[in-house]
Amino acid sequence: MKKTGIFYHEICGREAYKPLVMGLEEGFESLKKDKEITLASNILFFESKPAEEEWIAYIHTKDWINYVRERTGYWRCSIYSAGGVVEATKKVLRGEIDNAMVFAGVGGHHAHRDHAWGGCYFNLEAIAIEYARRNFGVKRFAVVDIDTHHADGTIDIFRDDEDVLYVCFCGWWGEKGEKGKAKVCLSHANNDEEFIRKVEKEVPPLIRNFKPEILYWVCGIDTHKASYGTQKLTEKCYPEIAKIVKMCADENCNGRLIVMFYGNAPAWVCEYITPKIVKCLAEIETAK
């Protein structure tokens, strides 16, 4: 069994970017209602701490940091969300836990160094990656992003960085990465079976060839048919994707996997998905 860390702070749930984040709090609470999770000795709950400004400044300009603090109303949620991802990264790299699920009340992948949009303020994964590079000497990173939108911010930040593999399922660049071999945009699929097959076929070889030391899964679920994206996936799809992503981390990254969950689908969808992802990470067999 793997040791799994859950990272959440009530600020992330309560002060979430409401137009997009629909079920973060409920997704977290459903873990607390699940005895198989709360009684498991290999699942640990952590309260996310705020990211230090110094870490945010690894990626973002001073002007943008000040703008987020003074003008957006999402400063607290942003620093607790980024702090959760950094804290999870730290614990995984120290070997205190094998993998983690982080609940973030704002997105990250539309955040560039000096601007952002779409419910993102700071680039959560970029901050964590840079933190791991500077403080742990990690060289190779991979991010698998299944959100329906293009990760313009992260891809921009790591544009010329061939040590960061970014796999995006946005459909923007067709089937190839135009910005270098480590940035790949794949097309969507509009039903569970097709999407699972696609992830199964495309992601493992990319990870295997790239050989990252740690894997981040941007688990955007706006591809759900009841969410605001235009895809038609159901809640049953995401636990299957979890199995594939986890297998990639186990086979290539010594199990080091950080799942970033944003709750961008209705609460009942989040409540269904989160316990299943956590049990997959922790390798708990559920009694059916």
Closest to Zn ion by CB, 50 vs 263, is 263
Closest to Zn ion by CB, 130 vs 222, is 222
- Residue 121 CB, shortest distance to Zn ion, in Å, is 15
Instruction: Count residues near Zn ion (CB under 5 A).
Output: 9
**Measuring CA to CA, how many Å separate 215 from each of 69, 76, 287?**
29, 26, 29
Residue 114: other Cβ atoms inside 10 A: 12
- Residue 40 CB, shortest distance to Zn ion, in Å, is 31
Quick one: which of 102, 126, 105, 106 has its CA closest to 114? Answer: 126
Task: Return the amino acid letter for 186.
Answer: L
Closest to Zn ion by CB, 185 vs 278, is 185
- Residue 32 CB, shortest distance to Zn ion, in Å, is 27
Closest to Zn ion by CB, 2 vs 110, is 110
Residues 157-196 within binding reach of Zn ion (CB under 5 A) = 168, 170, 172, 185
Closest to Zn ion by CB, 92 vs 164, is 164
- Residue 233 CB, shortest distance to Zn ion, in Å, is 13
- Residue 22 CB, shortest distance to Zn ion, in Å, is 12
Closest to Zn ion by CB, 185 vs 277, is 185
- Residue 185 CB, shortest distance to Zn ion, in Å, is 3
Binding mask 18-37 for Zn ion (x = CB under 5 A): --------------------
- Residue 119 CB, shortest distance to Zn ion, in Å, is 8
Binding mask 190-229 for Zn ion (x = CB under 5 A): ------------------------------x-x-------
Q: Compute the CA torsion angle 151, 153, 159, 161 (nearest 10 deg).
A: -90
Closest to Zn ion by CB, 58 vs 172, is 172
Strands across the sheet with 4-8, in order? 43-47, 4-8, 99-103, 257-261, 214-219, 141-145, 164-168, 183-185
Closest to Zn ion by CB, 69 vs 198, is 198
- Residue 31 CB, shortest distance to Zn ion, in Å, is 23
Residues 123-162 within binding reach of Zn ion (CB under 5 A) = 147, 149-150
Residue 145: other Cβ atoms inside 10 A: 26
What the block records as the tokens of 132 is 């791991």
Rule CB under 5 A: which residues touch Zn ion? 147, 149-150, 168, 170, 172, 185, 220, 222
